[in-house]
Structure 1
Amino acid sequence: MHIQMIGSRALVAAALLASLSPPVSAATVSGGTMVVNLDRDALADAIAIDATAAPSMYLEEFFDAPAANSRTATQILEDHIVPGVAEIPAKNLTFSVNGTHVANLTGRHAKPTTIEFDPANFASTVTGVIGLSGVFRFRVDTGSEFNRILSGDYALEYDAANMDGASGRSAWSLYNHVSFRSQSYNLFNVVLDIHDGSLDLSGELGLGEGYDHLFGTRDAIVGNFSLHTSVVPVPASIWLFVSGLGGLARIGMRRRQL
């Protein structure tokens, strides 16, 4: 009985602590798109493998969210939306921002959107990722039948350790999750704008370490992007619950010290 009373008092104290704490302006994002424009010449120049007169690497197919989400990884590797194997335009390619739940077919590992942040203090508070649906299929000039690669099911991630002010490399990266995880692109010269219920992110795409196996030139600029999504508050009940747990932890520590 004594233990139960202590637990009840701790819960009450935690609730009071949460109610007296200053409000946390927690937000996430919902919906929206990221539009990518690849520079086909810059992309070809950045990949060292070049066995024939064809470009060293070019975009053969793009599967937007509806086309990608109805296919397995093997189907994306083999299906043709555009007949033949010729290069397709690499402009205005639209990826969709995922929701909080994602259903994946075989070989796919698309990520849900889990990002949370304080709009007034983004860099110091951001956690989680923005999941994106859509897949590139590139043809690589290997001179053999093993000449296609997939890149997509991206997670847009923020890591301050990735930032390099001298080169313009930002803390943002796009990670591939088709079949396996790899850093496809580092994002350069990024502009972040949060206002009027929207989050806008734009900048340039630089090759990441995910292209090292093709002898890609790390951080070579191969295109640009723009992302637009809506900012929505995280439900207050979640933050009150988290605050309450924090209060319980602090109370528990004080009791152990006593």
Structure 2
Amino acid sequence: MKNSPFGSILLLLFLVTANLYGQDPSSPRGVFPVGITAEYGVGKYSVRDEYISKEKYSGTLPYFNLTWSKFHDTYGYFLAAEFQTSNKVKNYNVSAEVYQFSLHQGFLYPLAQASLLTKDLHLFLGPSTELFFFYNKQDIAVSGFDYAQSFAMLISLGAQSEVIVPISSGLQAEASLGLSLLSLGFRMVDMEEEDVSPAKLLTVLSGTNGSIRLGVRYYVFDNLSAKLSYRLQVTRISSWDPLLSAGDNLHVSLTYGF
């Protein structure tokens, strides 16, 4: 007897939907997103770089990210590269070109599993390291005693945490917090005007870079997921001429697992 085309289609649909979310949402390995992630974000950005000016500059600073993540036997690992640049950061008619780059890696160890409103809650916590670079250039003409560009860099040890709550088949809520705790900091200084070192050891009180993220991930297939998230990033350095920047962005990302 010949197979019905309609029956074949139903069987195919069943096989596909049965594999939409093959991971076990009750285990840390099952909910931890692994693979290559490409991410884009856009939103508001503000910076006050007092090496150049005490005024606040605001605008947009698009966000690009490429992350590789993997879960080993007892822990997760990630390596992320982030890049942001824009020449649309302004204070009235004065514009500035801003560049930010970060190379970030860390280990995430699953802690005791808890519950939240009848849902499993998975908490991950671990150490991280980061190389963060900031460059700011104002598009103005200056005299020989003024400066229209500055940079800062942090080489940091920090902590990273992740919270993952499976909501339903293929859908999970995610939150993360990353913070640098101890950094070797570098800052552009005026060697002629000030007797100050361009390199210092910074604590979380004198120089830090951190971010908070809230989002929802949907698994289209076992090895492909999409995520929509909100991210707040703050950089603060106070050991030299103060630098304070903040950005809040809406992000979209795709993760391909293998």
Of Structure 1 and Structure 2, which has the larger fraction of its residues in strand?
Answer: 2
Of Structure 1 and Structure 2, which has the larger fraction of its residues in helix?
Answer: 1
- Common fold by TM > 0.5: no
Q: TM-score, normalised by structure 2?
A: 0.39
Of structures 1 and 2, the one with the larger relative CO (CA 8 A, separation 6+) is 1
Q: TM-score, normalised by structure 1?
A: 0.39
